[in-house]
Amino acid sequence: MGHLADTRSSAEELADRLVEYRRHLHQYPELSGEERKTTAKLQEWLAEAGIQTVDYGLNTGVIAEIGEGNSGPIIALRADIDALPIQEETGLPYASRNQGKMHACGHDFHTAALLGAAILLKNKESGLRGKVRLIFQPAEEKAVGALQVIESGALEGVKAILGLHNKPDLPVGAIGIKEGPLMAAADGFVLEVKGQGTHAAVPEVGVDPIVAASQIVTSLQSIVSRNLSSLQQAVVSVTRFHSGTSWNVIPENAVLDGTIRTFEENARATVRERFAQIVEGVAAAYQVKTQLRWIQGPPAVRNDSRLAALAREATAALGLTAVEPAQSLAGEDFAYYQRKVPGLFLFVGTSGSREWHHPAFDLDERALPITAEYLAELTELALRSLSEQPDQER
């Protein structure tokens, strides 16, 4: 228990420092792909902690390593660093100073917590049973940052990866751990329906794209209820319907945007197939032309069972509460890492009053040292577990 007591003491001493990190990031949010000042600040803070950064050629984001010279496996820890195009409405003294930009998803929390875990792990670097690669990832909100990291080579040699997300509906001290699918594949679509414009008083002269597009919206609702098993979770949502400019003109075109969320690849394929069939059928019936563009999103987050068992062990060691969270239909590009190496994505309780992406989103900062301590403990457990496996199992 000695090392646990030392870790707890160190984490408590770090609490004020982590709050300072988080509040600075919260005041100066940057959007996906624009995280240049955030990147520079992270490099500064890591250098102050004596943690070496590694240049993988990323435009934004930071990769760092702990355990230089250590033999054994490499475990990666990932936090996302980008913000959202939302005008903050919290009224906090450290609210965003960048107009129209806000850390409304808690990525500032994730980044500060990972910095805390990194400092704790650096303090015991010589005793680690391997190396820790820190990934401060850009552009999660656009679901391209993980792919950029993978393409840079920063995942090479990694045997497992750990990530986390704050969860407002879980209390501080609760850790959400779930094997298998946790977050959904998130695909988007843009559908243009092309008709023939005319005066609204003589619709028979033209081809009305609004009527056809409305029929498509209605018909799409049958996919989940009639083409998927009731045991399969999926969502098909049309979120934008734009057409016309005047009350007395039937327009040429209508445009539909939306999203599809699924957990299983076969359901993902079925939804897309039926979607295209419905569009084709309605187009033929209403004599319109259509152009469908898919926006390929990340696959579902699927958690490794062995890492999940270690996560439960870490909660017990630190006296935290392990809970099995409900699946979330939100998407996460952490899933791309899990296509390459075993991975575990956790939910961390933050006792928030608002959900992600709300302009008044906030969280309980008492969760910061808890999360840093937990992530450091889990990393040590995972390194020991992986180092004890035969090479062919790694």
State the pTM of this model. Answer: 0.93
Q: Return the HEC string of 77-102.
A: EEEECCEECCCCCCCCCCCCCCCCCE
| Mean pLDDT within 153-181 | 98
Burial category of 169 from C-beta neighbours within 10 Å (exposed 0-12, middle 13-18, buried 19 and up): middle
- Per-residue pLDDT tens for 22-33? 999 999 999 999
Q: How far apart are CA 344 and CA 5, in angstroms?
A: 26
196 and 132 assigned to the same domain? no
Whether pLDDT at 364 is above 50: yes
User: For residue 378, what are the domain limits?
Assistant: 2-183+300-393
201 and 159 assigned to the same domain? no
Question: Among 2-16, 171-185, 249-263, 332-346, where is mean pLDDT lowest?
Answer: 2-16
Residue spans of alpha helices (H) in the chain? 2-27, 36-48, 107-123, 145-152, 209-220, 222-227, 265-286, 305-318, 334-338, 367-387
Query: CA-CA-CA-CA torsion for 108, 112, 117, 118, nearest 10 degrees?
Result: 110
282 and 201 assigned to the same domain? yes
Mean pLDDT taken over the chain: 95
Whether pLDDT at 214 is above 80: yes
144 and 270 assigned to the same domain? no
Q: How far apart are CA 209 and CA 256, in angstroms?
A: 11
Whether pLDDT at 73 is above 80: yes
334 and 375 assigned to the same domain? yes
Instruction: Scan for tokens 């949502």, then name that residue.
Output: 237
233 and 362 assigned to the same domain? no
120: confidence class by pLDDT, cuts 50, 70, 90: very high
Decide: helix, strand or coil at residue 63. strand
Residue predicted with more confidence, 45 or 13: 45
| Mean pLDDT within 189-199 | 98
372 closest CA partner among 3, 4, 8, 83: 8
121 and 179 assigned to the same domain? yes
Consecutive H or E run containing 344:
strand 343-349
Domain boundary among 295, 330, 354: 295
Report the pLDDT value the prediction gives residue 8, as an integer from 0 to 100: 54
DSSP string for residues in 303-337 = E-HHHHHHHHHHHHHHT-EEE-PPPB-S--THHHH
The pLDDT > 70 percentage for the chain reads: 96
144 and 61 assigned to the same domain? yes
Whether pLDDT at 267 is above 70: yes
98 and 237 assigned to the same domain? no
208 closest CA partner among 174, 178, 243: 243
The pLDDT > 90 percentage for the chain reads: 93
110 is in an annotated binding site: no
165 is in an annotated binding site: yes
Whether pLDDT at 3 is above 80: no
240: confidence class by pLDDT, cuts 50, 70, 90: very high
Beta partners for residue 174, in sequence order: 321
Report the pLDDT value the prediction gives residue 13, as an integer from 0 to 100: 78
- Structural domains of the chain, count: 2
141 is in an annotated binding site: yes
Whether pLDDT at 35 is above 90: yes
Query: CA-CA-CA-CA torsion for 169, 174, 175, 180, nearest 10 degrees?
Result: -60
Report the pLDDT value the prediction gives residue 68, as an integer from 0 to 100: 87
Whether pLDDT at 51 is above 50: yes
Alpha carbon separation from 375 to 107, 315, 348 (Å, rounded) = 16, 10, 10
CATH number at residue 263: 3.30.70.360
| Mean pLDDT within 34-42 | 98
Report the pLDDT value the prediction gives residue 389, as an integer from 0 to 100: 81
Report the pLDDT value the prediction gives residue 1, as an integer from 0 to 100: 47
Domain boundary among 273, 295, 317: 295
Beta partners for residue 150, in sequence order: none
- Per-residue pLDDT tens for 123-138? 999 999 999 999 999 9
13 and 107 assigned to the same domain? yes
104, 359 Cβ separation under 8 angstroms: yes
361, 90 Cβ separation under 8 angstroms: yes
239 and 256 assigned to the same domain? yes
| Mean pLDDT within 341-360 | 97
| Mean pLDDT within 288-301 | 97
Report the pLDDT value the prediction gives residue 218, as an integer from 0 to 100: 98
Q: How far apart are CA 114 and CA 26, in angstroms?
A: 15
Report the pLDDT value the prediction gives residue 134, as an integer from 0 to 100: 99
386 closest CA partner among 127, 73, 158: 73
Report the pLDDT value the prediction gives residue 69, as an integer from 0 to 100: 84
Report the pLDDT value the prediction gives residue 172, as an integer from 0 to 100: 98
Q: How far apart are CA 199 and CA 26, in angstroms?
A: 52
87 and 163 assigned to the same domain? yes
CATH number at residue 22: 3.40.630.10
Q: Could you say which DSSP state residue 44 is in? A: H
- Per-residue pLDDT tens for 317-330? 999 999 999 999 99
Domain boundary among 295, 318, 350: 295
